[in-house]
Amino acid sequence: MLVQDSPLRAHYVMIPARFPETIVERIDPASLPADWRDISARAELQQVGTTWSQRRTTAVLAVPSAVVRAEASYLLNSDHPDFAHVEIGAREEWLTDMRLLRRAARAAGV
């Protein structure tokens, strides 16, 4: 059986970054709209990021992950003076492991 995997097999790049916690602002999920995990909240969430970027209060914004509840995504503001404390690592190509796609297809009944 052929599983369509082109969206997941796109060429992703991961770039590690290290930074001190003192330059991070964290978004509390309770402060977000009730539907923040839904695509319909996109515009409102983008405005949260835009406002943070324009205010320039911190160099890093930690936002809760809509995909993995225990994780966060990080926005970096290179215009903030504390961005100098962010250490950017080497980029790494990343491809989805095909075993994960097969498991996902089985779970979905495909």
This prediction has a pTM of 0.75
pLDDT at 31: 92
3 belongs to a structural domain = no
2 belongs to a structural domain = no
Domain carrying residue 77: 17-88
77 belongs to a structural domain = yes
pLDDT at 4: 47
**Of 40, 29, 24, 15, nearest to 70 (Cα)?**
29
Question: Could you tell me if 52 and 61 are in contact, meaning their C-beta atoms sit under 8 angstroms apart?
Answer: yes
- Residue stretches of the chain with pLDDT short of 50: 1-4
**What does DSSP assign to residue 65?**
-
108 belongs to a structural domain = no
**Which residue type occupies 92?**
E
pLDDT at 107: 64
pLDDT at 75: 95
102 belongs to a structural domain = no
**Number of independent structural domains in the chain:** 1
pLDDT at 95: 75
9 belongs to a structural domain = no
